[in-house]
Amino acid sequence: MSVTRWLLAVGFLGLVACRTAQPEVASESSRAAAVPCELPASPAEFVPLSDKPYPGEYNEVFDVPDAPAWWVPAPPDAERERYRTALAARLGEPGLGHRVLLERVHAIHEALTGSPMGREAENTSRVLAGTAGSVGPSSCLEWRLFQHQARRFPMIERPTEFGAYVLRGHERIRVYLSGADRVGGRLSHEVRDRVMADVAKGFAPVAHLHNHPFMFDRTPGDRMWTTPETVNDVGGGVAPSLTDVQAFRQMRESFGLRGAWVTNGLETGRYTSEDFDRLSAWD
């Protein structure tokens, strides 16, 4: 799944000097001096929900001091290791690599050639070929946001999705984080309007982050939107869908989105605004 199901009716790591969006790499001395990144226990504020919220839906704002520790690979973490161990029990450790996951979903989509869903193979093929984006270990910021959602809804037992706008400026990182108890969600205009107002105040729209959860024991018609064609798709691939890219392009046009990140909690695919044009979107 993906922003594919984040509603588009209302309608982010890297410096633009680099072709692919990458987390900022701190020097070893800076890394050693950095305090491990942690989200505050409570968000700075909440953004109102729509009139008809999804079960468990939330829109939260986190505002933290910018520091190198947020942008480097996530440090060892007991929760993350338990998550990896549980996934490895299902797929085997080699099965967690991003190429294996992408090749698996690529084969599923290629088998649907001739149907609209078959076009999803266009983006997985470009990521696999290295012609769009790059994939690396999840940063500390990406992991903490993933962890925040997973503490609400255990990602393996009850996969869900979240989305986050990551803004950077005035020596701060500001994150608008949204999620719900479902695979999919919405890009609410209430949050988008706040993001656009912050961009007008000098915050850089670094990236939009969302997760592609792992999905096991699927049956057609379940809460994971499973069809007979996707019953063997375990998810977790970090290539964006066609609808993801369509949403990214709209955000770029609306407020200058610089990048997009797709994570599974272990690894993250990072895409620059230039990559949005290398990737496919719905016509």
The pLDDT of residue 60 is above 70: yes
pLDDT of residue 117: 86
* Range list of H helices, 22-166: 28-33, 78-91, 98-110, 121-129, 140-152
Q: What's the pLDDT band for 237 if we cut at 50, 70, 90?
A: very high
The pLDDT of residue 218 is above 50: yes
The pLDDT of residue 8 is above 80: no
pLDDT of residue 29: 35
DSSP 132-155: S-EEEEPBHHHHHHHHHHHHHS-T
The pLDDT of residue 110 is above 60: yes
145, HSE (Cβ side, Cα atoms, 13 Å) = 34
The pLDDT of residue 156 is above 50: yes
Across 1-5, 51-55, 274-278, least confident range: 1-5
Q: At 21, which amino acid appears?
A: A
Across 28-37, 140-149, 174-183, 249-258, least confident range: 28-37
Tokens linked to 87: 């996934």
pTM across the whole model = 0.88
* Percent of the chain predicted with pLDDT > 70: 87
What is the tens place of the pLDDT at every residue in 190-210? 999 999 999 999 999 999 999
The pLDDT of residue 15 is above 50: no
**No. of helices (H) and no. of strands (E), the chain:** 8, 10
Distance CA 101, CA 74 (A): 21
Phi/psi of residue 142, nearest 5 degrees: -60, -45
The helix-helix angle for 242-255 and 189-200 (nearest 10°) equals 40
Q: Residue range 73-95: average pLDDT?
A: 96
Q: At 249, which amino acid appears?
A: R
- Could you tell me which residue, 112 or 25, shows the higher pLDDT? 112
Q: What's the pLDDT band for 128 if we cut at 50, 70, 90?
A: very high
pLDDT of residue 19: 39
Q: Residue range 263-267: average pLDDT?
A: 98
Tokens linked to 204: 């850089």
Burial of 190 per CB tally in 10 Å (0-12, 13-18, 19+) = middle
Asked if residue 2 lies in contact with residue 240, where contact means CB atoms within 8 angstroms, the answer is yes
CA nearest neighbour of 173 among 130, 124, 207, 215:
207
Q: At 193, which amino acid appears?
A: D
Q: What's the pLDDT band for 3 if we cut at 50, 70, 90?
A: very low
Q: What's the pLDDT band for 24 if we cut at 50, 70, 90?
A: very low
pLDDT of residue 17: 32
Which one-letter DSSP state was computed for residue 237?
-
Q: What's the pLDDT band for 114 if we cut at 50, 70, 90?
A: confident
Longest dimension (CA), the chain: 54
- Could you tell me which residue, 116 or 39, shows the higher pLDDT? 39
Kind and range of the H or E element at 250?
Answer: helix 242-255
Distance CA 189, CA 9 (A): 9
Mean pLDDT, the chain, rounded, equals: 89
Q: Residue range 252-260: average pLDDT?
A: 98
3-state secondary structure of 182: coil
* Domain-wise residue ranges, the chain: 3-278
